[in-house]
Structure 1
Amino acid sequence: MKFMGTNELREAYLSFFESKNHLRLESFPLVPKNDKSLLLINAGMAPLKPYFTGLQEPPRKRITTCQKCIRTGDIENVGKTSRHGTFFEMLGNFSFGDYFKEEIIPWAWEFITETLQIPKDKLYVTIYLEDDEAFDIWCDKTDVDPKRIFRLGKDDNFWEIGVGPCGPCTEIHYDRGEGVITNVDDFVKASDEDRVVEFWNLVFTQFDKDEEGNYNKLANPNIDTGMGLERIATIMQGVNNIFEIDTVKNILHKVSDLSGVKYGVDKIKDISLRIITDHVKSVTMLICDGVQPSNEGRGYVLRRLLRRAARHGRLLGIKDLFLTEIVESVVENYGSAYPMLIENKEYIEKIVLLEEERFNETIDSGMNILNDYIEEMKASKEKTLKGEKAFKLYDTYGFPIELTEEILEEKGMKVDHEAFRKEMDEQRQRARNARGESSYMGSDESPINKIDASVNTEFMGYNNLEVKSNILVLADDNSFVEELSKGQKGYIVTEKTPFYAEMGGQVGDKGTIKTALGEAYIYDTKKNVGGKTIHYVKVLDGTIKVNDEANLRVDILRRTSIAKNHTATHMLHEALKQIVGKHVNQAGSYVDDERLRFDFAHFQGLTEDEIQSIEELVNKKIMEVFEVDTNLMTLDEAKESGAMALFDDKYGDKVRVVSVGEFSKELCGGTHVNNSGEIGLFKIVSETGVAAGIRRIEAVTGLNAIKYMEEKQRLLKEACNALKCTEKDVLKKIASQGAEIKEKEKEISELKSKLTSGIEDDILASVKDIKGVRVVAYGLEGIDGNALRDLGDKMRSKLSTGVVVLLSNVGGKVNVISMATKDVIEMGIHCGKIIKEVAAVVGGGGGGRPDMAQAGGKNPENIKSAIEKTYSVVESLVK
């Protein structure tokens, strides 16, 4: 058996099955597509489920992959055992109704014994106890010793999950020990003791289990195999631990170097080294596949792993930010297999850095509080942390509850889970109460949310802005009504409408509705909780009644402006991807008739050059006058066409794809212009951050963009007039005046310095002796705070011993400063106490240290009285 590196093994497996006419597919992203049953991809066959179930036609009936996987179910065992990791790679070959047992069994044996050259006397095979077919193939089509084949029951060698496709499997095992295992009982014992290690599972999906528990034969059985890359690497490299295979060991050594902790010396520290190694590997892969840190879903998985790694770094004595350096090592070792890691390296590192910085801001405070809790528990001999305390750590300091549990477990303690869950439930209830009364569907209990499910409105507004239709429902805020009269506000539902209801970031339409007896202004259009289109109206004249025929007319100018902004939003999205990076994805949007707002995932503010490039690209494409086409197709067809899909769970059987020429293609239900030229002009107004890793661009189009530019031009002209220069000389003029101002400020400062130096002798001449303490109290005019402090320092130095109190009238307000030498402080002098009483005389307040204090006041006419107060306060303080 020869040594093979992990990357070499991956390539050997995929190349082998390519030679057997398999299509090699790249690893699917860790984020599942169109599969709500999974948070993250956790098995090699998981992304291929549509092919196994027949929902999609596979690109070829034979496929091979090396699939990235994440599992966090056993996260507490990571680092403690030799096999557990949150990230792993699963090698697999799959047949969709093509070959079956007769092909895969000899292929597997060929790959193991010839390509990998694993000695046959180190291998054992298990089969399902009733699978005589598999036994015969093993015996007839390979040279495995039949005595090395063991039959096991359903728990070990039959794959099924509830009802549906299932079947027996055969597993291949490697024996790390010495001697020959001759019976099934000894084999099971050797497996339990980790002497024998299973490394490849071949599943024969040949049955369809029905609700009655019957196993019906499939007409076209499938093959689904899985070989853990890390596990076969331990065998090929002669190690017993997944953290000791080459690629993972390289990362672990990086952690060891950064922490100064040698691996293999301290068992407890080894756990931390392994946890950091594993978790940063997972974090790197997750971010590369588009996951961002958050407090829910897969974002929480990422945040939990990252913070757990950061915390174990601290346990190893690493005080500085360090995770990005581990990321670099992950990219070095896995970049050849996953080039996206290299392409996105900078982005991944910045997301990790931001999150580690964010965690560091809170972890110290949180740790101090948790340590206090632990000491309190030790003192009272308690072993369980109260739920409300664990919740405070979670809610206030960003501590994942799992992190609190882990730290407590190290101390032999635990969390009161039931009380913690109660606190979480109460927080959710408070949030619900803050939103007001709502139904079980999260909507307010108004009549419009109780409209019968049979009531439907046909939207005609893509092609028509004026439609005749019958009124089906009328309501006010309290109940359904038969009519609405002049001056009343209410809600109208019609059979047909040209009005777009607010959705997908686009605001609802406005316009009018007229009947033979009345007219109303539609000031908004929204959908209720049941998805019904609701027109929000105010009756302008006459009466509107149920069953009346009405003419509905959208405000055309407003709709046109909205359409310009919406199409520009799509173009902005594409421009961001081209200029900033493919990682940029929409995180929210708002489109009305005046502006557009676009939120997107990105780790830092855009540069002026990037903003300018984005503007130029969008305007260039506007001027190319692309046709804006809309097409209905299935979701799969839309994605195959290259359309960007957002919020998959909101799409139905048919989706609407909006294309701006060949430049942009997105799934969208909103309204758009007919061609990009109608937008006219696109101008970015601002670019800001709205949350960690989320940026926001606001922009204007069309006439609003022209108005924006005209306003800027007007301001520039006013600036030119004020500066008495031409437009091209504005910057030079501003720079020149700035230099002049600095020079004047310098002159003023020098004059003030001369002014204060000229009165230093007068100030010193006012010194009084109060119970053995030299005291200077003096009133000044026009000396600001900074100059007053400088003067106070000088007076204290010249005084050598004593107290200085200076008051200055500056523009009708009083600045007060008090300073004292060290020797008089020992006699009882305290500048903070002096300033408090002196400032009160001039109508102010302040405080400070024994040696220095400052304050302000608003009654300069009382400065003389304040000076007299200084002497009496000093007298009272001297011991």
Structure 2
Amino acid sequence: MQTHEIRRRFLDYFERNGHTVVPSASLISQDATVLFTIAGMAPFKPYFLGQSTPPFPGATSVQKCVRTGDIDNVGVTTRHNTFFQMAGNFSFGDYFKAGAIEHAWTLLTAPLDEGGFALDKDRLWVTVYESDDEAIELWQRIAGLPAERIQRRGMDDNFWSMGVPGPCGPCSEIYYDRGPEFGAEGGPVADEDRYLEVWNLVFMQDMRGESSGDGKGAFPILGPLPSQNIDTGLGVERLAFLLQGVDNVYETDLLRPIIATVEQLSGKKYGSGDHQADVRFRVIADHSRSGMLLIGDGVTPGNEGRGYVLRRLLRRAIRSARLLGVSEPIMPTLMSTVRDLMSPSYPELAEDYTRIEKVAITEEQAFLRTLSSGSKLFDVAAGELKGEQTTVLPGATAFTLHDTQGFPIDLTLEMASEAGLTVDVAEFERLMKEQKDRARADAKARKGGFADLSVYRGLLDQGPTRFTGYSELTTDGVVRGIVVDGALAQVATEGQTVELVLDQTPLYAEAGGQDSDAGTITGPDGRAEVIDVQKVDRKLWVHKIRVTDGELVTGSTVTAQVDPEWRIGARQAHSGTHVVHAALRQVLGPEALQSGSYNKPGYLRLDFAWNAGLSADQRAELEEVSNRAVRADLGVRVLYGSQDEARAMGAIALFGETYDDTVRIVEIGGPWSVELCGGTHVDHSSQIGPIALVGESSIGSGLRRVEAAVGLEAFHRLAAERAIVAQLASSLKVQPGEVPGRVEALVEKLRQTEKELAGMRAAQLKASASALAAGAVRVGAGDRAVSLVAATAPAGTAAGDVRGLATDVRAALQGPGVVAIFAPGEGSVAFCVAVTPPAVQAGWAAGDLAKQFLPAIGGRGGGKKDMAQGGGTNPDGIPAAIEALRQALAQEQV
């Protein structure tokens, strides 16, 4: 049975039995505590935690999941995958243990012609929580399982919780006996390779407390839940390899064809007895599939968070292909193979294939450049370590590979292991932390989230906040709740900063890239300014306010008002973002899709997938197309429809956003710009005002950002630039149109003058080199004696000229000689040590000599035997440094 058929049968069965079919959520988790959706129950977590009331008594889904915690085991074993599909059925206070057991047993064992999976009942085993006698009785009564095929297990195996205080309960796992050829007898407690877990049924019946803190994970059971829930998870891939009669997940219909593709490209055979090659085949199959699904859901390769995980997956696949002997780019072939395999279940992969393929190909091109240069650096470092008879690669080397070559530490660890080396990970992590701390010190503080959403449960149960801001800027509403320090309060008083929930509001909550509205909330006895507006569970508008006068009271009627000037600017910026996006696709092509945005009054930025910087002509054309659309006074129309209707219109959905079944569609100029969007917009494009591009830059591999000023801010910016041109024209005594030519002429004249000055400085340094060489003094005795020139460079010598001066002085010396030149600066000093060939033969080394005086100047540096250079922070220490060098040469201790 094909995997797509397994998915269909599962959903059909539960739909027939009264469950609402819920489409898979995005792999981008809506839970801020995790990067990806890691379990089938994740989209339903607010219902289980009591943060939101479920809209249906029962649901079923096949959820896309990605887990990367055991990525190093992928390929090494035949059952680990990073991407997998988790089929599940969920009950919210409807049926409980008996219903869950009956559904699972019926579906697994029913004949194929009745919609089941026809598993042999005699090969099914179950485990239950050690004290769950009720589950044992139900398995015996409903399924007819004999007692010897029901095994009790402890909390580590058969008790479920989210890892935090909240719902929990025992679970029951269903296993399939694959036969004696796969392991020992004795059930799941004896061998979980032979007895393969297929389905886990969680009986959510209790409330747990905080862990005991003893490191053992123990926690108290506080009592039963108000309603009992069911959460199950069936591994689609595991069931597939059982029903397809193969040994492991890599032999199934959705992974084996990828391996076959790599066999054709590499000329090697999978399963030929070369374990290392088989691991690489499996890594490529798993990671290319996971990579495509992640790109499909809007993740782009990067150096942090989700982007880093995607980058690691793609680069491991690419490198594994290289190690199998594939010399040509592999991503185009892999992506098309994965598309054909997965699109029957996920048709959006085929619809969005052009963009997905481009992201993958761009990452491969970037990595191949990185792999070539980084591998050379690694090989040099590894060779030096072997020469020094050490097996530990310094953390500083790993950091350099990461920082300058884009090598993830995981890749360095893999290459080191293959070379018989280890890596000083502690030093690497210390250097990474220092770098992040520096970046963090320059970063702006981000807005805080709502950590504990349970306080909003009662407010959510009163219904969603009604947003009136599409049609009005002032709305009277009732204060449903005031939240102070995570708890409900009756009153907010002057000077307090609190969170406030209204039954209706005109204030826009930050979403879809648009910043929240500014405004005020005024009650009978007080007034507050609105600092921020955010959504909870996408239904509840939570206003962060600062009470400026009097007090606001729960239950009172207040007036919420949007700052009208703010809203004008917000509408211009958001509509401007749509216009720039459409213009960008017109100029570059339809694959230049937005991958993120931010807009506020007067400003917009738009991120998009592209692998090269925009040329001056492209930037000019982008600005031209955008402003022509503004001048054309295009109509702006808002429609509502289903997601299917929106797709039929060609509407663009933004990656990472979550949409309801009924979506809001914003058209600008008919089909020219059609996007799903909940933001506020102008009525006609002419109301946007001028759009002035202010920046275009890279924000990661294959990802670009354009920024623009909008409306009055664009006018101010253009006016400021006009004033600068006028000032330049006045200073240069030319007409404004002649400024570029006049500036170019001045720049060329300056360049020629600098060249002449450089020649003069070089001549002066040559002359000073002869003078310095003439002042050489004899230091030391016997075969180790040298002529020493240790001096401060002539005034005005740039740090970059120190090496050249030292080289010239060395050339003027006869016989064994050592030259040390120091160039002081403002709080700094540059130095260079040069040693003549006869002095090198006598045993002197420039790098060793430099170490003798580095402490005196607070310096760092090094080099080879004939030349060393570096810098320091204490120019006052130059005399002491010269003396330290003279003594070292005189005492012959180096």
Matched with 1:64 is 60
Give structure 1 stretches of 5+ with no counterpart: 443-461, 465-499, 510-525, 534-554, 629-641, 650-656, 712-879
Contact kept, 8 Å, 1:507 with 1:591, in 2: the verdict is no
Structure 2 CA distance for partners of 1:587 and 1:685, relative to 1, 3 Å: closer
Contact kept, 8 Å, 2:37 with 2:65, in 1: the verdict is yes
Report how far residue 666 of structure 1 moved. Answer: 5.4
Matched with 1:186 is 186
Matched with 1:342 is 350
1:519-562 deviation line (CA, Å, top 9, x unaligned):
xxxxxxx99xxx999xxxxxxxxxxxxxxxxxxxxx99x98995
Matched with 1:373 is 381
Superposed, 1:618-767 pairs within 5 Å as: 619=630, 622-624=633-635, 675-676=683-684, 679=687, 690-691=698-699, 692-696=702-706, 698=708
Which whole-Å CA distance do the structure 1 matches of 2:94 and 2:21 have between them?
16
Matched with 2:257 is 250
Report how far residue 318 of structure 1 moved. Answer: 1.5
Q: Name the aligned partner's letter for residue 362 of structure 1.
A: T
Matched with 2:215 is none
Matched with 2:88 is 92
Report how far residue 643 of structure 1 moved. Answer: 13
1:464-516 deviation line (CA, Å, top 9, x unaligned):
9xxxxxxxxxxxxxxxxxxxxxxxxxxxxxxxxxxx9x99899999xxxxxxx
Contact kept, 8 Å, 1:646 with 1:667, in 2: the verdict is no
Report how far residue 101 of structure 1 moved. Answer: 1.2
> Is 1:118 aligned with 2:119?
yes
Matched with 2:152 is 151
Which whole-Å CA distance do the structure 2 matches of 1:297 and 1:198 have between them?
31
Superposed, 1:588-627 pairs within 5 Å as: 588-589=598-599, 592=602, 597-603=604-610, 615=626, 619=630, 622-624=633-635
Which whole-Å CA distance do the structure 2 matches of 1:410 and 1:687 have between them?
44
Which whole-Å CA distance do the structure 2 matches of 1:180 and 1:645 have between them?
47
Which whole-Å CA distance do the structure 2 matches of 1:172 and 1:627 have between them?
50
> Is 1:43 aligned with 2:45?
no
**How many residue pairs are counted as aligned between the two chains?**
587
Which whole-Å CA distance do the structure 2 matches of 1:345 and 1:678 have between them?
35
Structure 2 CA distance for partners of 1:439 and 1:25, relative to 1, 3 Å: closer
Contact kept, 8 Å, 2:623 with 2:693, in 1: the verdict is no
Matched with 2:456 is none
Structure 2 CA distance for partners of 1:330 and 1:577, relative to 1, 3 Å: farther
Which whole-Å CA distance do the structure 1 matches of 2:226 and 2:566 have between them?
55
Superposed, 1:308-319 pairs within 5 Å as: 308-319=316-327
Matched with 1:584 is 594
Report how far residue 312 of structure 1 moved. Answer: 1.0
Report how far residue 78 of structure 1 moved. Answer: 0.7
> Is 1:107 aligned with 2:96?
no
Matched with 1:235 is 242
> Is 1:30 aligned with 2:40?
no
> Is 1:390 aligned with 2:387?
no
Report how far residue 129 of structure 1 moved. Answer: 2.1
Q: 1:303 aligns with which of 293, 311, 325?
A: 311
Which whole-Å CA distance do the structure 2 matches of 1:43 and 1:138 have between them?
25
Matched with 1:222 is 229
Q: Name the aligned partner's letter for residue 231 of structure 2.
A: D
Which whole-Å CA distance do the structure 1 matches of 2:231 and 2:568 have between them?
54
Report how far residue 216 of structure 1 moved. Answer: 1.1
Q: 2:79 aligns with which of 65, 79, 83?
A: 83
Superposed, 1:769-808 pairs within 5 Å as: none
Matched with 2:851 is none
Q: Name the aligned partner's letter for residue 233 of structure 2.
A: G
Which whole-Å CA distance do the structure 2 matches of 1:8 and 1:348 have between them?
25
1:704-763 deviation line (CA, Å, top 9, x unaligned):
79999xx9xxxxxxxxxxxxxxxxxxxxxxxxxxxxxxxxxxxxxxxxxxxxxxxxxxxx
Matched with 1:204 is 203
Report how far residue 248 of structure 1 moved. Answer: 0.7
Structure 2 CA distance for partners of 1:315 and 1:575, relative to 1, 3 Å: same
Matched with 2:137 is 136
Report how far residue 571 of structure 1 moved. Answer: 3.9
Q: Aligned residues: percent identity?
A: 37
Q: Name the aligned partner's letter for residue 624 of structure 1.
A: G
Q: What SS does structure 2 have at the residue aligned with 1:68?
A: strand
Matched with 2:175 is 173
> Is 1:20 aligned with 2:17?
yes
Bigger relative contact order, structure 1 or 2, given CA contacts below 8 A and separation 6+?
A: 2
Which whole-Å CA distance do the structure 1 matches of 2:430 and 2:50 have between them?
44
Which whole-Å CA distance do the structure 2 matches of 1:177 and 1:647 have between them?
44
Contact kept, 8 Å, 2:592 with 2:609, in 1: the verdict is no
1:799-831 deviation line (CA, Å, top 9, x unaligned):
xxxxxxxxxxxxxxxxxxxxxxxxxxxxxxxxx
Report how far residue 172 of structure 1 moved. Answer: 0.9
Superposition CA RMSD, Å: 4.9
1:606-636 deviation line (CA, Å, top 9, x unaligned):
98999699759954994437799xxxxxxxx
Report how far residue 567 of structure 1 moved. Answer: 4.6
Contact kept, 8 Å, 1:577 with 1:584, in 2: the verdict is no
Which whole-Å CA distance do the structure 1 matches of 2:631 and 2:145 have between them?
68
1:157-180 deviation line (CA, Å, top 9, x unaligned):
211234211111111111122499
Q: Name the aligned partner's letter for residue 148 of structure 1.
A: R
Contact kept, 8 Å, 2:19 with 2:59, in 1: the verdict is yes
Contact kept, 8 Å, 1:575 with 1:618, in 2: the verdict is no
Which whole-Å CA distance do the structure 2 matches of 1:20 and 1:584 have between them?
41
Greater Cα shift, 689-698 or 150-159: 689-698
Which whole-Å CA distance do the structure 2 matches of 1:687 and 1:441 have between them?
23
Structure 2 CA distance for partners of 1:124 and 1:697, relative to 1, 3 Å: same
Matched with 2:277 is 269
1:654-677 deviation line (CA, Å, top 9, x unaligned):
xxx999999778567xxx887436
Q: Name the aligned partner's letter for residue 124 of structure 1.
A: W
1:193-241 deviation line (CA, Å, top 9, x unaligned):
x221111111100111234713411231111111111111121122222
Which whole-Å CA distance do the structure 1 matches of 2:707 and 2:317 have between them?
34
Q: What SS does structure 1 have at the residue aligned with 2:33?
A: coil
1:691-712 deviation line (CA, Å, top 9, x unaligned):
432242647658979999xx9x
Q: Name the aligned partner's letter for residue 202 of structure 1.
A: L
Matched with 1:289 is 297
Which whole-Å CA distance do the structure 1 matches of 2:302 and 2:203 have between them?
40
Which whole-Å CA distance do the structure 1 matches of 2:624 and 2:393 have between them?
55
Q: Name the aligned partner's letter for residue 155 of structure 1.
A: D
Contact kept, 8 Å, 1:125 with 1:172, in 2: the verdict is yes
Q: Name the aligned partner's letter for residue 176 of structure 1.
A: R
Contact kept, 8 Å, 1:622 with 1:681, in 2: the verdict is no
Structure 2 CA distance for partners of 1:248 and 1:690, relative to 1, 3 Å: same
Q: Larger Rg: 1 or 2?
A: 1
Q: 1:164 aligns with which of 163, 166, 188?
A: 166
Matched with 2:267 is 260
Structure 2 CA distance for partners of 1:107 and 1:274, relative to 1, 3 Å: same
Structure 2 CA distance for partners of 1:707 and 1:263, relative to 1, 3 Å: closer
Q: 1:399 aligns with which of 399, 403, 407?
A: 407
Contact kept, 8 Å, 2:517 with 2:567, in 1: the verdict is no
Contact kept, 8 Å, 2:127 with 2:172, in 1: the verdict is yes
Greater Cα shift, 331-340 or 146-155: 146-155
Superposed, 1:390-539 pairs within 5 Å as: 390-431=398-439, 435=442
Taking structure 1 as the reference length, what is the TM-score of the superposition?
0.59
Which whole-Å CA distance do the structure 1 matches of 2:573 and 2:182 have between them?
72
Structure 2 CA distance for partners of 1:79 and 1:610, relative to 1, 3 Å: farther
Contact kept, 8 Å, 1:570 with 1:666, in 2: the verdict is no
Q: Name the aligned partner's letter for residue 191 of structure 1.
A: D
Report how far residue 99 of structure 1 moved. Answer: 0.9
